[in-house]
Amino acid sequence: MQTSFTEENYIKAIYKLEESLKEKAVSTNNIAIHLSMQPATVTDMIKRLAEKKVLTYKKYYGVSLTEKGKTIALDIIRKHRLWEVFLVKKLKFKWDEVHDIAEQLEHINSKELISKLDDFLDNPKFDPHGDAIPDKDGKMRVLHSVPLSTITKKQTYVFCGVSNHETKFLKYLTTLNLSLGNTIDIESINDYDGSLKVKINKKHQEFLSEQVASNILVHPAHGK
């Protein structure tokens, strides 16, 4: 089934909202806010996608992707994340520069191209931001991580992802010389504001606000 650029953006948005909100149905208002669209425009598109059996829609209840819709969403996400790996590893873009470019490339509909791209990159499991890349069957490796702000034990953790993909946030982490795979030792936790004093890669010390720490995903250094 052929889907347009706009339809794919809606499908991906609904999938991500379902994942983040952990709800069976997503409201049209949430979709409108996520896409910066008018609710009436969103409703029109949802009705069109419902006709294509990509989603189910019940007025006053919300929207849920069908299995067909989830397959399309995972395919788009797979392409987006593979292109991000390509841009960073092969073309030497910075991790804060690739999202918008990958947003354009993710709409290329060539299974052969994406399959060859995947092999060319040695079948990566994660993108430059630590997000899992779906394989050709839509399956993803699960990495058990938690926000750094939830840590209470003073031990060593590994930086494995971010929950905030905004350019300014990624640039800020770069100024801290913090990149995926780095170790983070928690030296102290401020009881008043939740800020942390940490040591990165056993070398330099940094102070992280609770807000920053809440968007840094880690797992214990001894395992995933």
Three-state SS letters, 55-84: EEEECCCEEEECHHHHHHHHHHHHHHHHHH
Distance of CA 208 to the CA centre of its chain: 22
pLDDT of residue 57: 93
Residues above pLDDT 90, as percent of the chain = 87
pLDDT of residue 224: 46
Confirm if 179 and 173 have CB atoms less than 8 A apart.
yes
Averaged pLDDT for residues 3-13: 94
pLDDT of residue 138: 94
Domains of the chain: 5-65 (1.10.10.10), 146-220 (2.30.30.90)
181, burial (CB in 10 Å: exposed 0-12, middle 13-18, buried 19+): exposed
Amino acid occupying residue 107: H
CA 50 → CA 4, 37, 74, 209, 223, distances in Å?
14, 18, 18, 44, 43
Distance of CA 4 to the CA centre of its chain: 22
Tens-place pLDDT, residues 87-103: 999 999 999 999 999 99
**Tokens encoding 127:** 């993108």
pLDDT of residue 1: 67
Averaged pLDDT for residues 66-71: 96
Confirm if 108 and 131 have CB atoms less than 8 A apart.
no
> Which of 101-105, 142-146, 175-179, 201-205 shows the lowest mean pLDDT across its residues?
142-146
In the predicted model, is pLDDT for residue 223 greater than 60?
A: no
What's the DSSP call for residue 130?
S
Alpha carbon distance 182, 121 (integer Å): 22
Alpha carbon distance 76, 16 (integer Å): 12
Give the DSSP H/E element, type plus range, for residue 186. strand 183-189
CA 128 → CA 89, 185, 219, distances in Å?
9, 22, 17
In the predicted model, is pLDDT for residue 24 greater than 90?
A: no
Averaged pLDDT for residues 36-52: 94
